[in-house]
Structure formats: C-alpha cells, structure tokens
A and B are shown apart, each in its own frame.
Chain A
C-alpha cells in the first residue's frame, strides 16, 4: 500500500512539474522581443548600443 502511494505521489509530482514547466517552454519561442517598426528598433538600438537585425517579411 505504502509502495503504491509512494509511486502515485511520484507520478503526481512529475505531472505537476511538467505542467509547471509547460508555460515556460511555450514562451521560449517568444523570449526575444521583436519590434514591428524600424523607428522603434532604432530607438532601442540607441538606448542599448546593440546593432539591429532588420528582417523584411
């Protein structure tokens, strides 16, 4: 009985851990901030000193 409970607890913990991780994984693709307008990107580049990756799509 104790063994079954321990296994159930472990499975439940794993499931909860997976659930907790799920939103952060979904957000991984959005970890970069994209600007939709070149002027906004230029303002950010002036602030941060970074170069600009300007993609036309």
Chain B
C-alpha cells in the first residue's frame, strides 16, 4: 500500500460517476488510477450467494500488483488513455437532488440505483427487462473463477464449456477489452448489450493466447435482482412482503419445485393485499394464474417485472393446506 497514494472517498457528491462507474450495490469497491484519473482497474463485485464471493486479500494483492504494472507501463508511455465517458454526478438524478442532497444528507451508493430507476420511471422510459437486469453473474455463463487468483478459471459448465473454455485458463479480455480483475470483468459484462447472442473471451492458456466465443441465451443476464435498489424502486409495490420457501418446504406443501412460493412474513404498513384478506404465514404460489416463471421464483419480483401500478391482480394463496384466491389493486409505492 505504501506504493500508492491512498484516497478514501467518503462523499460521492463530487465524484464523476460517469467516469467512475461501478456497481453501487456492493460491500467494497476500489479503483486504481493515475494522476490523470486514467483507470487502470476496478476491484469489487459480487454474486447472488454472497457479497464477498470475489473479495479476499489474495485477489486484492493480485489487483494491487497489476495496478503497479499498469502504472509502470503508463510512465513509460506504453499505455493508451481510453476516451473518458460522459460526466455524470449524483445531483443529475432528480430523485437524489430533491431528496438527500436537498436535505443535506449523505448520498449512499445504493441510492444511485434508486435514482436511475426513479428518473427513468418519471420520464416514462423505464424498460424493466432492459434496465433492471444489471451486473450479470459469470456463473450464469458457466464460468467458475478461482476467486483468490482473480480471473483464473476454476471450473467450466454449460455455455462456457461448450465454447471450449478450460480450467486454468486466465481471462484477459472481454470482447477485445482488457480485464485485469473480476471487477473489470463484471463491469464490462454489464455493458454487453441485452440482446447480444454471443461474447468473446480472450484467455491465456499455457502462455498462448486463445479466443473463446460463448453463446448467450435469452436468460444470460438473469440474477437475483430483488435485493437491488434499482429493482426496489421500480413500481408497482407488490402489496406484501415474504420469504422464499426452501425446496423441502415447497415439496412438503405440494408446490412446484421451481414455482413461486413466498411465505408472507410481515406487513410493515397497511396494504391492499392485507385489506383483501392476505395474512402473515400465507404462502403465495401464483399470480394471475401463473405459478412459475423462467426468470424468478419470487412472486413479488414477478409482480414488479410484469405488472403496473393500478393493475388489479389475483394471487393464489395456500393457507392451512387449502388453496384460495385473493384479488387486490397494486399501488405504486408502499407509502
């Protein structure tokens, strides 16, 4: 660390988040840059299982060493500066400008996601399928990385295996752009167009460079986005909160293994679903007759993705072993 100038930025208001673009829904994120603000690499990122799947001291050490190598190249004039992205600040989001900034409160990173969704909705431009499936997971492509070694492949499955990616390959480029860390990889993966049908990885294999083209299916961006502020800010509010049943609980309840099954946990405020008769411990297993969806097993996420504020929906409810239907209108927000 002594080879670096150390900056811990505690306020994001002055930061150009167009240039320093990052996943705002993570535990740790850092950049290695130079005095011209040229970004050498990013460190951070996560998957659905844990906020720390890709965070560890060894991979951080690898990243810091690579940062120094890049800096040396830059000092020797061997590193080109990419074009800087258009500037963007948190004050550019109406929701943040009129919210925390107006009240002189701290802007938390996840609020960037809320601001993005809020502003898109206000402009009538939110495309849920396009805008909410963010920061995809390489595991969805069949790539399991050795987290401590950065971008070394530990295991390959599915599309990645079919494409010829092999264990011990080290990913060096995505669609021709250099990646030095998992943070870089996830950042570029997020920029691959939603409707892309393939992506190209360049890998180092036994000191040779190989190209691998991975076919993308229509679900390649799917992760559990329900925890994200970008999703939570999206309308409508599903009118209830719940906890997913485990596979065993679903089996015991006689529900479909991959179907919706959300046990209502608590009503934080009075909701239309509660007024319609939904109770704590009820299990919601269907929405408008649909019991399963290829993108999610969460009934609440399904409602958010497919319904609008003002819609009246019917949910299938399992209570005391008996199925029944309840109908209620969806509001935009819980309060």
Contacts and interface: CB of A to CB of B under 8 A. Distances in A.
A34 to B, nearest CB: 5
B1 A32 contact: yes
Interface residues of A, number: 23
A50 interface: yes
A33 B109 CA distance: 24
A50 B5 contact: yes
Interface in B14-32: 14-15, 20, 22, 28-32
Given A32-B1, A38-B14, A46-B35, A56 B9 contact: yes
Interface in A1-57: 32-38, 40-42, 44-46, 48-57
B87 interface: no
B5 A38 contact: no
A41 B36 CA distance: 11
Interface stretch (B67-75, B114-122, B224-232, B311-319): B67-75
Contacts of A57: 8-10, 28
B4 A50 contact: yes
A36 to B, nearest CB: 6
Contact of A41 (B2, B6, B22, B29): B6
Contacts of A34: 6-8
Nearest to A43: B35
A35 to B, nearest CB: 5
B33 interface: yes
A44 B143 CA distance: 40
Contact of A45 (B15, B29, B35, B64): B35
Contacts, number: 94
Contacts of A54: 7, 9, 20, 30-33
A37 B9 contact: yes
A40 B35 CA distance: 10
A38 B19 CA distance: 13
Do most interface residues of chain A lie in helix, strand or loop, or is the interface mixed?
A: mixed
B40 interface: yes
B15 to A, nearest CB: 7
A32 B2 contact: yes
Contacts of B37: 42
B35 A42 contact: yes
Nearest to B12: A56
Contacts of A49: 75
A52 B30 CA distance: 10
B226 to A, nearest CB: 24
B30 A53 contact: yes
Nearest to B27: A57
A53 B35 contact: no
B78 interface: no
Nearest to B75: A49
Contact of A55 (B2, B7, B12, B109): B7
List 4 A-B pairs, minimum CB-CB distance, nearest first. A41-B7, A45-B35, A51-B71, A53-B4
9 contacts: A35-B6, A35-B8, A36-B9, A37-B9, A38-B14, A41-B6, A52-B35, A54-B9, A56-B9
